[in-house]
Amino acid sequence: MTFLRLVLLVLIAAVAGGLIWKSLPARTSSVAGPDPIAELVTAEIGGMTQWLLIRGADRANPILLWLHGGPGAAQMPIHGLTGDLERDFVVVHWDQRGAGKSNPPDFDPATMTLERFLMDAREVTALLRERVGEQPVIVLGHSWGTMLGARLVARWPEDYAGYIGVGQHVDTLRGATLTLDWLRKVAPSDLSGMDAQAFRDHDLYVRLMREVEANGGGMNVPLISMLPHALAAPEYRLPDYRRWFDGANRGSGPMWDAYLARDLIAEVPRMPVPMLLIAGAQDWNTPVPLVQEWLAVVEAPPGTRMEVFDGSGHAPFLTETDRFVEMVRGFAADIEARPE
């Protein structure tokens, strides 16, 4: 047998083995710890089946409810990249409606409204209380998840101990104005010459974000580098990947008009719980100056602060992971140390 044929057979066997493995029932690996929890669960939330991943070394630790971006960009298949958080938290990754495992073939995008997502999040919170315990819940939102998370915590602060906004969304078109100013300096183009109001057109806005990404102002993490982690996730089966891409490609399109109408400075003038805002200095998807503007006017308790990660763009948890994990841990410790 020639070497080339041997290599080919090995590759075929590896692909076949991978396909067989990915066809087995979804599951999650065990977690080491004094009283661990590792559950991949379904629940009827908002009139449809939705999926949650619940993992932590000690089920008595604070709950960290991670609200992914997009909407549609589920975080579950790459949860292992921030797995160190499971030492200090019960980390919950929820595939929201229309995202990942919660994006069935018959999904109705018309149900994607901010109010419906808020009600879903309330149901998720109640489920966690029943399934995990009565310990403090900290909400962590990323990108779209910050639009959802900030309003969730501000409206029902009695249920949440703190809020973490990563790539905090404030105002889409005002953010686009700042993004265009930056883009004109680094890579002038037909898009960068437009007025921000032109990006009321969703397709144009998507093109703008792709141009921002191409010029170093977006996630700054190659998708190909995430692929091995996502493919290795035992929580995702073969059909789930197509569902993930379908949801991510759909994005905010079905709720774009409402998206544009949202203004965090006007809607959330007060955050009743301590807040940590984490931003990447190179993030022109949710520009840092606009986040700083909200922080300067929002009424919030002591301990509220913003941390800018100089080496990151829109996903500091992927580019400066160790610092990100320590920042989240420190914030939780500060909340625990606050007097009642």
Residue 7 confidence (pLDDT) = 42
Instruction: Confirm if 199 and 208 have CB atoms less than 8 A apart.
Output: yes
Residue 237 confidence (pLDDT) = 95
Instruction: Confirm if 180 and 192 have CB atoms less than 8 A apart.
Output: yes
Q: In the beta sheet, which residues pair with residue 65?
A: 92, 139
Point out the residues of the chain with pLDDT beneath 50: 3-21
Residue 337 confidence (pLDDT) = 85
315: number of CA atoms within 13 Å, CB side?
A: 19
Structure token pair of residue 61:
């630790």
Residue 18 confidence (pLDDT) = 46
Task: Return the SS3 of 179.
Answer: helix
Residue 224 confidence (pLDDT) = 84
Give ∠ CA 114-202-256 in degrees, rounded to 5: 15
Residue 16 confidence (pLDDT) = 39
What string of DSSP letters covers 82-130?
A: GGGGGGTSEEEEEE-TTSGGG--TT--GGG--HHHHHHHHHHHHHHHHH
Write down the pTM of the prediction.
Answer: 0.93
Task: Return the SS3 of 70.
Answer: coil
Residue whose structure tokens are 């066997």? 13
Q: Please choose, from the candidates 295, 271, 288, 317, the residue with its C-alpha nearest in 3D space to the C-alpha of residue 68.
A: 317
DSSP state of 134: S
Instruction: Confirm if 171 and 199 have CB atoms less than 8 A apart.
Output: no
Structure token pair of residue 279:
């931003």
Instruction: Confirm if 215 and 192 have CB atoms less than 8 A apart.
Output: no
| Segment 120-138, tens digit of pLDDT | 999 999 999 999 999 999 9
Structure token pair of residue 66:
């991670």
Residue 326 confidence (pLDDT) = 98
| Segment 16-58, tens digit of pLDDT | 344 444 566 899 999 999 999 999 999 999 999 999 999 999 9
Q: Which amino acid is at 46?
A: G
Residue 1 confidence (pLDDT) = 55
Query: How big, in percent rounded to 5, are the helix, strand and coil portions of the chain?
Result: 50, 15, 35
Write the CB contacts of 131 (distance below 8 Å, at least 6 apart in sequence). Answer: 39, 41, 54
Q: Please choose, from the candidates 83, 76, 113, 82, the residue with its C-alpha nearest in 3D space to the C-alpha of residue 97.
A: 113
- Angstrom distance (rounded) from CA 110 to CA 272: 31
Per the rule left: phi > 0, alpha: psi between -120 and 50, beta: everything else, 100 is left
